[in-house]
Amino acid sequence: MHLSVDRDSVAMGDDAVPHHRTLEVADDASVAELLRTAWPDVSAPDTWTWVCHWNGVPFAVWSSGRGGRVWDERYRTLADLPVREGTPELFHAYWTQMDSDWLLERLRAGEPLDRRALERRWAPVAAERRERELRERERTVAARLLDTQTVDALAAFGAVVDLHTDTVCRFRVGDGTWVARRIDTMTLVDDPRGRRGSLRPVGVAHLWLVAAVAREVEGYEAFTEPLVPSDVRTSPGLWSITRTVDGRQELAQQHQPEDVEWFRLVLGRTVDEVVAAYRTRPEPGRKRWWRR
């Protein structure tokens, strides 16, 4: 039997490569043999889950760590699968990082294959698992995302650290939660309103965090003139501030237009300088601001 196999794309770069291929499988092959042969053909972590469709009918869950498994025991051989005219088609639909064991258990219990409903049910389970993993990492890995100087500086403005690992720092400022996390070379920062900045190297993120929290708490601009030159590039919904130091680019991608000018005033300064500036009573006429 000739079989058409295809899958969803998992990223923008993945679109550049065709996913469709044609395989030959034995007419009397079992479904288990089929899924061992006609897998999604992508280098995928164990946490990636796929739902397999045969001639448009979903029938199995697949992940790289556990292989393919059916939730309807009627489907044991290819002869049991739905038939249609023409070449049979096996399509792998990408279900992101929903745990395949969890999904299979739900489907075997008779729950409908309703992606939105299942994603809503999975979200709190995933959050609880992630929190346990982070707490374990915090306990067992000595390295930290933010250095001691930055943590002390944040504390000077009332920040209270709740979680701190080598990849994530979560802290509270007043009633709001801020999260800094490292993704590859970038440090991403979220505040109670959402994404605020994406920065590299981590030293720039340290400076940005301290200045952002200080400005939030104290309610005024501590600096009136930039210390160093920088460039700004604008794209829809994103402002990129760059400067080059000793041949290395520093980058701050801002997601709020109000953050562009104040961070250009902070660039080139040290964390200690920022703390000292914001812990000093502002001069009369110094620009104050309030978040709306």
- pLDDT tens by residue, 24-68: 999 999 999 999 999 888 776 778 899 999 999 999 999 988 999
Structure-block tokens of residue 189? 């920062």
Q: Which of 30, 23, 25 is nearest to 6 (CA)?
A: 23
- Which stretches of the chain are assigned E, i.e. beta strand? 2-7, 21-24, 50-54, 57-63, 67-70, 89-94, 160-164, 168-173, 176-183, 186-191, 194-200, 231-235, 238-245, 248-254
Percent above pLDDT 70 for the chain: 93
Per-residue pLDDT for 292 more than 50? no
Q: Are 93 and 85 in contact (CB under 8 A)?
A: no
Structural contact between residues 189 and 211, judged by C-beta atoms closer than 8 angstroms: no
Contact between 59 and 77 under an 8 Å Cβ cutoff? The reply is no
**SS3 at position 51:** strand
At 118-159, the pLDDT tens digits run 999 999 999 999 999 999 999 999 999 999 999 999 999 999
Q: From start to end of 25-143, where are the E strands? A: 50-54, 57-63, 67-70, 89-94
Q: Does residue 287 carry a pLDDT above 70?
A: no
* 13, pLDDT greater than 90: no
Q: DSSP letter at 140?
A: H
Q: Report whether 288 contacts 282 (CB < 8 A).
A: yes
What are the structural domain ranges in the chain? 2-133, 148-278
pTM of the model: 0.78
The pair of structure tokens assigned to 78 is: 């290819």
Q: Parallel, antiparallel, or unpaired for β 160-164 and 248-254? A: unpaired
Residue 70 has pLDDT above 70, yes or no: yes
168-210 pLDDT, tens per residue?
A: 999 999 999 999 999 999 999 999 999 999 999 999 999 999 9
